[in-house]
Every structure is written in structure tokens, then in C-alpha cells.
């Protein structure tokens, strides 16, 4: 099942220790705590789906990214919802 459309970036804003427990394939890690300082790491010209554990941090990150002109969308329910709809989890993907 493909949950992320081609050309769309899935940005995981959880912390490294949460990421290490499992994350969506092809997701990019950019913790919310580092987002403002690393804004230049966010892809430009692509839609960015923002995910965290349950959707609260990703909601904050999405608001920040939109204010900076990024086409960002919050993944409501976060990784909890991702797993409930059958989204794959994998360890050891790349960080941003």
C-alpha cells in the first residue's frame, strides 16, 4: 500500500530515539527541536507531509513550515494512525 504519493516528501519531526524504534520507509528525519535552525534542509518545491508520534508536534511543525512558505500538510494521528492503516515501519532510514 502506497501512503505517500510520488514527489511528496514525508518529514518525520520526532526525536532520534523515537525514529530509531521505527519509522516510515523513505521518511526523512528532522526533529522539531531542530526545525527552525535547519529550515534550509526542508525540500523546496515539493509537498511535505509532516508526521510525528500522534500528530501534535507535526501540527506545530506544519504551521511553522507554512509560515515559511513551504507546502506542508500535517499527518493527522501521526505514526499511530500510520500503523493503524497498515503503513510499513522500518529501522535505519536516512536522516535529512
Q: What residues pair up with 28 in beta bridges, in sequence order?
A: 11
Q: Is residue 90 part of a domain?
A: no
Please report which helix (H) or strand (E) contains residue 84, including its range. helix 78-84
- In the chain, the number of structural domains is 1
Q: With 70 as the cut, is the pLDDT of residue 93 above it?
A: no
53 CB neighbour count, 10 Å cutoff: 18
Is the CB of residue 93 less than 8 Å from the CB of residue 27?
yes
The answer to whether position 64 is within a domain reads yes
Which domain covers residue 76, as residue numbers? Answer: 44-84
pTM score of the predicted model: 0.88
pLDDT in tens, 15-46: 999 999 899 988 999 999 999 999 999 998 99
Asked, for residue 77, whether it belongs to a domain, the answer is yes
SS3 assignment, position 52: coil
| Residue 3, in any domain of the structure | no
At residue 66, does pLDDT exceed 70?
yes
Which of the residues are catalytic?
52
In-domain check, residue 51: yes
Amino acid at each position: 500500500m502506497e501512503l505517500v504519493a510520488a514527489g511528496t516528501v514525508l518529514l518525520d519531526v520526532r526525536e532520534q530515539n523515537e525514529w530509531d524504534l521505527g519509522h516510515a520507509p523513505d521518511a526523512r528525519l528532522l526533529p522539531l527541536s531542530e526545525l527552525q535552525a535547519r529550515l534550509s534542509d526542508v525540500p523546496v518545491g515539493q509537498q511535505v507531509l509532516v508526521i510525528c508520534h500522534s500528530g501534535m508536534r507535526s501540527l506545530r511543525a506544519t504551521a511553522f513550515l507554512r509560515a515559511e512558505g513551504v507546502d506542508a500538510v500535517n499527518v493527522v494521528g501521526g505514526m499511530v494512525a500510520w500503523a493503524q492503516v497498515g503503513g510499513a515501519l522500518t529501522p535505519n532510514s536516512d536522516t535529512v
